[in-house]
Structure 1
Amino acid sequence: MTSARPPIVCLLGPTGTGKTSAAIAIAGRLPASVINFDSRQVYRDFPVVTAQPDAEERAACPHHLYGFLPTEEKMTAARFVELAVDKIEEVRGQGRLPILVGGTGLYLRSLLSGIAPIPEIPGEIRRQVLDRVAEEGPQALHAELSRTDPDYAAKIHPNDTQRNARAAEVYLATGRTMTWWHTESEHAPAPYGALKVGMRIALSDLEPHLAARIDVMLERGALDEAQAAYGRCPDPDAPGWTGIGCAELLGFLRGELTMAEAREKWVRNTRAYAKRQITWFNKEADIHWFAPGENGPIADLTERWLSERG
């Protein structure tokens, strides 16, 4: 069987389920490069807090779109697609298989299904929303979002200034929710044939691993990393600080939380995020599910799939 669409492999699933190790297992069988699609792992200042691949993992095969964005810059799904397409073509030009690895479902869906053509937001509406954020905080916008677009609200953190403001301004300007724009509007698909491989684990089994993983991050200098980032970018509203782990450590650095409270909140928010990821990916079609650690069978499937494509 042949396909005109160039192949890519997508390794997806909740945080902490061994997606990078699965990608490296595939790269051990055939020439491949890893391309990140995690919205937090793009930030340069937080390699430990966001669990970016370490030096040993990066040495196993080329890795792209990790740790390049400064804390004060925002990443959007549209910008991600532009960067990812460029990297996919670069990797293909090198004769290597692009393996997309991450847990930000919206980014992957946007790449494979196209970006919703949301109209330009009038400046007056944008200023109105930003004024509300300054006065009431992103939590107020998130509470409204939970009523108007509960599916999208479940995917973002109440403290995420950028995404809550974006959802509010889009709804005000268009009368449509973000969920509608991402699922109902007309947009063209990207020209790739994708093998989607998911890591499936019960949240109750994943939860103790997530807590232990956070303790390892703290042992490896997560707090020092956040302290250095705070010295470079003390703006608490900067996009890089909205990520889980970053926000909690910032709360400690600003004297708003004790270290014990910051850790407890980090664990709790990570669990809630993993739950949202599991819910999102369970709704996706055409995913081949594996348990974390089944790297050999994942590599076998990839080789079979590529062979069948001709």
Structure 2
Amino acid sequence: MNTPTSQRKPHAPPAKRRGSADAALDASELRPGQSIELLHELHILTREGRLNQDARRKLKQVYHLFHFIEPLLQDCAAHGYDPAHRPTLADHGAGKSYLGFILYDLYFKELGRGWIYGIETRPELVEKSHALAQRLGFERMRFLNLSAAASAQAAELPERIDIVTALHACDTATDDAIDFGLQKKARAMVLVPCCQAELAACLRHDKALHLARTPLAELWRHPLHTREFGSQLTNVLRCLRLEASGYQVTVTELVGWEHSLKNELIIARYTGQKKRSAAERLHAILAEFGLEATLGARFRIPE
């Protein structure tokens, strides 16, 4: 039976697309002295000075990450390598140097010293970041068109770096950033790994052998599990390598980045206490999964 017109529910208005509604920026959402021009350039703010939902989440995420990095900056500002230039920070896989610009604006600008080096393989992004730094007067930012692997020998970088960051550096680029940090004797490293495909590929290659040898191979028998387990195991090996190299390691979630599936944050502080047990466990894990031949060199521990 048809429902009388008078009893039909009115059509709901079409739902607004997520993040499409703009709202005026609340001054309480900014840090003291924060550059409005920078927020415009990073497309967090519209030209009308408004903030949509996606941009508001992004701003909160940046503040949350800054919460982790600021204590490291403060420690290195006091105890870093070069009293005249500390702290120094190298950002690998910098992209548009979003992190570097925010860190400079929130910390380095007021400090009046310290340098940020953005390391990125795409020359057009390096050029754009350089131009933006000039427009904003961020004089102690440098941008290098280099890979993480090549940057350790670059003459443009100081012999020692206080802090190394690598956020969503894909696959082995995170390991290259760790190599860089170890060579530069970094006092701290902040890593958000991404797309760890190398180890998963090794697990897939020898899957039949492992299934015959141990029931633990069920952990990566299915392709989805292979990817997830490979990612988990890669980060475990990275943490053991850092501990064996003299770092105290903390692993946590990058809370607030719900839109990203890559939400693991590794923070390593150099203490000089090299854990022999960490080195032993790293080698034991590589041996257990038959990875010594293919990945032993990648996870080597410096003398």
Q: Report the TM-score when normalising by structure 2.
A: 0.31
Looking at both structures, which has the greater relative contact order when contacts are Cα pairs under 8 Å and sequence separation is at least 6? 1
Task: Choose between structure 1 and 2: higher strand proportion.
Answer: 2
Task: Choose between structure 1 and 2: higher helix proportion.
Answer: 1
**The structure with more radius of gyration:** 2
Q: Report the TM-score when normalising by structure 1.
A: 0.31
